[in-house]
Chains A and B, each alone.
Chain A
């Protein structure tokens, strides 16, 4: 930085662009997103219209919500792999309990396992200091088991998705997906927490240097416990939204979204080692993945080739992004 201050004229253009990008890390993401849309437009002219955009946003929102859990936990150097199970449980319970109970009760019931799993994760990671990857994988395994047992008790009663959730998940108002009604406040809340609250600053601090934060008098386990409960409840809410979108409860509903949610947060520039990143980038990451999925579907690739490309692109984007960010 000092070099640029003393001799700004001698900095070559390439370096200047890179520096610009590292100062505004969201710019390359927006460029990439527009580029993907452009490629889509060239491959299939006319596909990019209002309806397509609404549809893409509709499918990007659940992913962005799950990626929100990952962003929050990754800021402290953790990760939450139980979100898929939590979301699936919430979705399955709301659909089966919705048969006999009013929707509000069903939704409240659906969020109970989310709270419990979040609590267990928080205790395991915060108090017992288990690695978050292991802890959340373990609790998700327990969750899947519980869900299977639960499924056998309700197998005869059938399923009914509350109408409100269907409206929220699939409906459009003036061409805008209704899911935005849920997503915009949640996203605003996440960004507000990260940027403006003491809790948000603690998350960055813990991820940046846990020892220093501890010495500064922060109760580490309280921060972590609150964080994992928050993440789990967010995943549960995502499950409620997702069942409104998919409408068919199954035992592995949200499971395929777990790894993409990690990918979205990583593409969005949140460091998996903690202390750096934010939710704005994650939203862009989720949009990029959603557009990418459409692109690969349009190219009519077999499932196998699609997964290969997906993996390769996640890797390439992350590597390129790291180059830009770290070149300071």
Chain B
């Protein structure tokens, strides 16, 4: 038990924080129920994918500033392809957009490996490029989305044998999130590639000397991030019904949640679960502030202060643990 706590202490602490916040929400607003939880999950969806994308790259020792732009680009691509098209056409659009994200992410990685320019600069440049490409696809918010895709994240999962009051707490969006994240992350974590990603994150030189194909691993890490970003873009289109070419606030949110989730920014440490719980915590804080009827502008200040405070605390703990 103590070993489990030591290894997963951060995640356990975060989960506890989430529970505390949830109870606080119920106290603030006794009527906060399953329906509200469903809308929380729907709001979290694009953030969660952005965070997943950032997590993979950060574990590999890099950083991806182009996450939000990538989401905007994949979102407008999906929305403009599905606009006015038949329902069945969307079946082709979804894998196409996911592949697009994968390829664009790989391009990020290839550029970093080939040009040897620092990852911050490369992804900054691709941020510009993807923003521009998104504007070329759609110069104003528009496009459409197939109804069945929208339906994927609305409503709850009916579980046979359980009463409605319980299944109401399992929104479809949560199922979609868990299934998609697990489908990519679990095989990755268990594979040789996953190990290599952690290896190049903790020490590129040591990994190289141990025979890890550093270049290939890095490219694949960015490609997987691209895939997650494409999922995020699709989920944006699914929840809004349109595509918007201007990137949302997902970059800062993703970095903050990665740090809050216990992933070391230097790379090589952490998992996916922590950042995902962190994103739920951050969104729930926002909900609470709204429920407390605080001016939305003040909410931004409080939210920012919380992120900064948490990050400072995390950094402080890291120093202390290193010193002892």
Contacts and interface: CB of A to CB of B under 8 A. Distances in A.
Interface of A: 79, 120, 124, 128-131, 133-135, 137-139, 141-142, 144-146, 148-149, 152, 259, 262-263, 266, 272-273, 302-312, 314-315, 318-319, 322, 326
B211 to A, nearest CB: 25
B300 A148 contact: yes
B230 interface: no
A131 B120 CA distance: 13
A304 B73 CA distance: 11
Interface centre among B63, B115, B298 (most CB of A within 10 A): B115
A215 B259 CA distance: 28
Nearest to A263: B124
A306 B136 CA distance: 10
Given A138-B304, A266-B121, A318-B117, A130 B255 contact: no
Given A144-B300, A152-B297, A262 B308 contact: no
Closest 10 CB pairs of A and B: A311-B128, A307-B132, A304-B135, A145-B300, A145-B301, A308-B132, A141-B304, A304-B136, A319-B115, A142-B304
Interface string B91-122: 00000000000000000000100011110111
Nearest to A262: B124
Interface string B286-321: 000000000101111111110110011001101100
Contacts of B124: 259, 262-263, 311, 314
A251 B154 CA distance: 35
A318 B112 CA distance: 12
B195 interface: no
Interface centre among A129, A152, A311, A319 (most CB of B within 10 A): A311
Given A272-B121, A308-B128, A314-B125, A133 B312 contact: no
Interface residues of B, number: 45
Given A138-B308, A318-B117, A311 B252 contact: no
Given A138-B308, A304-B136, A315-B111, A322 B128 contact: no
A264 B300 CA distance: 30
B71 interface: no
A261 B256 CA distance: 23
A307 B316 contact: no
Given A266-B121, A272-B121, A319-B116, A141 B128 contact: no
Given A259-B127, A306-B132, A311-B132, A145 B117 contact: no
Contacts of B301: 142, 145-146, 149
Contacts of B278: none
Contact of B116 (A262, A305, A322): A322
A90 to B, nearest CB: 18
B221 interface: no
A272 B62 CA distance: 13
B129 interface: yes
Contact of A302 (B125, B134, B135, B307): B135
B174 interface: no
Given A142-B308, A303-B135, A322-B117, A130 B315 contact: yes
A275 to B, nearest CB: 13
Contact of A128 (B63, B135, B139, B316): B316
Contacts of B308: 120, 124, 130, 135, 138-139, 142
A144 B303 CA distance: 12
A315 B108 CA distance: 11
B118 A128 contact: no
Nearest to B265: A131
Given A133-B63, A141-B300, A304-B136, A311 B117 contact: no
Given A272-B120, A302-B135, A142 B128 contact: no
9 contacts: A137-B252, A138-B256, A142-B300, A142-B305, A145-B303, A266-B121, A303-B139, A304-B131, A315-B111
B127 A134 contact: no
A232 B124 CA distance: 22
A310 to B, nearest CB: 5
A305 B300 contact: no
Interface centre among A142, A263, A303 (most CB of B within 10 A): A142
Nearest to A144: B300
A303 B116 contact: no
Contacts of B265: 131, 134
A124 B111 CA distance: 32
Contacts of B295: 149
Nearest to A260: B128
Nearest to B63: A133
B126 interface: yes
A134 B299 CA distance: 19
A131 B302 CA distance: 20
Contacts of B118: 272-273
Contacts of A303: 132, 135, 139
